[in-house]
Amino acid sequence: MSTIVVAAHKGGVGKTTVAVNLAASFAHYGKRTLLVDADPQGAVATALGITVVKPSLYELINKQIKANDAVVPVDNISELWLLGSELDLAGLEIEAPRMTLWQTKLADVLHDAETTWDMIIIDTPPGLGVLSTMALNAADGALVVCPPDYLAYRSLAHLQEALVLSKTPIMGIIPTMVSTQSRHAREALELIEDNYRDLILPSIPKRVALQDAMVAGMPIVNYQPNSDCAKAFLSLAKEVLSRAKTVAA
Ligand SMILES: Nc1ncnc2c1ncn2[C@@H]1O[C@H](COP(=O)(O)OP(=O)(O)OP(=O)(O)O)[C@@H](O)[C@H]1O
Ligand SMILES: [Mg+2]
C-alpha cells in the first residue's frame, strides 16, 4: 500500500486532472484505489460526475470519523472509491491551527484505510497552507505536477522546502499540459528536465479531451480509452506503481 499526495505550490497546473486520472488508471489495472480530495474546491467529485458529497472530508476530520466508514464507491468504475470535499473544508484553514497536532488530522482519518486500499491518492489545493500541510503529512510520497511554464518551474523549489519539512519523499515530477508549440513552453520544459533529470516521470500532453472528460464527469481512460492522453496516464500509472513499491518498502 502507498499513500501518494499530488502536489504543486502553484494553482491551476493540473493537480486535480492528474490525481483523478492517475487514480482511475490504477483502478483500471485492478488496484483497489481510494481518491481523497483535500481541496475545498471539490473538483475531484465533479471530475467523477458526483454532485453530492456526503459526508465531506471536513466532517470526517471534525467528528474523527475514519475513512473506511465514509468512502463512496465511484459508479461504473470498479476498484475506485472517493472521499470527497466541498466548500466547508475551507473552514479548516482557520480552525485547524487551534487544534492540537493539527498537522496529522488527515493522516488520522486515513489510518485504517492504509490496510484496505492498494493505493491512496490525495489531491491538494494550490498553495502550501494548512490543508496542503495536512496532506503532505498523510502521505508516504509526493508526486509533483509541473507544466512547461517558468513560474511553475520556479515554484518547484518552494514545494521541495515544504516536502523536506514534512519529511515526504518526492516520488517524481510529472510534466503536464505538455505542448511544444510555443518557445516559452519548450524552454521551460528544458529547464525542468535539466534541473530535475532523475525525478522526471512520463509526461501528460496538453489535450482538450482531458477538459471534455472533466465536463462529462469521467476519467479519460473511460471517456476516450484509445486517446494518446489516456495511454499517457496508463504509462504514468505503471511507472508510479513500480516506484510506489520502493516508497512503501
Ligand atoms: N493535460 C491537460 N491538457 C489540457 N488541459 C488540462 C490538462 N490538465 C489540466 N487541464 C485543464 O487545466 C485546468 C486546470 O487543471 P486542474 O484543475 O487539474 O489544475 P489544479 O492544479 O488542480 O488547479 P487548482 O490549483 O485550482 O486546484 C482545467 O481546466 C483542466 O481541465
Ligand atoms: Mg485542483
242 in any annotated domain: no
Question: Taking 70 as the threshold, does the pLDDT of residue 149 lie above it?
Answer: yes
Counting beta carbons within 10 angstroms of the beta carbon of residue 191, is it exposed (0 to 12), middle (13 to 18) or buried (19 or more)? middle
The CB of 215 under 6 Å from ligand 1? The reply is no
118 in any annotated domain: yes
Question: Taking 70 as the threshold, does the pLDDT of residue 248 lie above it?
Answer: no
Q: What is the CATH number of the domain that holds 115?
A: 3.40.50.300
246 in any annotated domain: no
- If one residue of 17, 36, 131, 212 were mutated to test the ligand 1 pocket, choosing by the most ligand atoms within 8 A of its CB, it would be 17
State mean pLDDT over 17-24.
98
Spatial distance between the Cα atoms of 183 and 180, rounded to a whole number of angstroms: 7
What does the pLDDT read at residue 96?
93
In this predicted model, what pLDDT tens digit does every residue of 45-63 receive, in sequence order? Answer: 999 999 988 899 999 999 9
In this predicted model, what pLDDT tens digit does every residue of 154-174 receive, in sequence order? Answer: 999 999 999 999 999 999 999
The CB of 138 under 6 Å from ligand 1? The reply is no
Q: Residue-wise over 126-157: b if at least 16 C-beta within 10 A, else e?
A: bbbebbbbbbbbbbbbbbbbbbbbeebbebbe
Question: Taking 70 as the threshold, does the pLDDT of residue 247 lie above it?
Answer: no
Question: Taking 60 as the threshold, does the pLDDT of residue 249 lie above it?
Answer: no
244 in any annotated domain: no
DSSP code, position 83: E
Q: How far is the CA of 175 from the centre of ligand 1 (A)?
A: 13
Question: With bands split at pLDDT 50, 70 and 90, how would you rate the model's confidence at 190?
Answer: very high
What does the pLDDT read at residue 54?
87
Amino acid letter at 186? R
- Whether residue 143 contacts residue 5, with contact meaning beta carbons closer than 8 Å, is answered with yes
For 4, phi and psi rounded to 5 degrees? -120, 130
Residue 233 CA: distances (Å) to CA of 11, 19, 109, 225: 21, 10, 28, 10
What does the pLDDT read at residue 1?
62
In this predicted model, what pLDDT tens digit does every residue of 83-132 receive, in sequence order? Answer: 999 999 999 999 999 999 999 999 999 998 888 999 999 999 999 999 99
Domain of residue 14, residue span: 2-236
85 in any annotated domain: yes
94 in any annotated domain: yes
Q: Model pTM?
A: 0.96
Q: How many domains does the chain have?
A: 1
17 in any annotated domain: yes
Ligand nearest to the CA of 44: 2
State mean pLDDT over 12-36.
98
The CB of 39 under 6 Å from ligand 1? The reply is yes
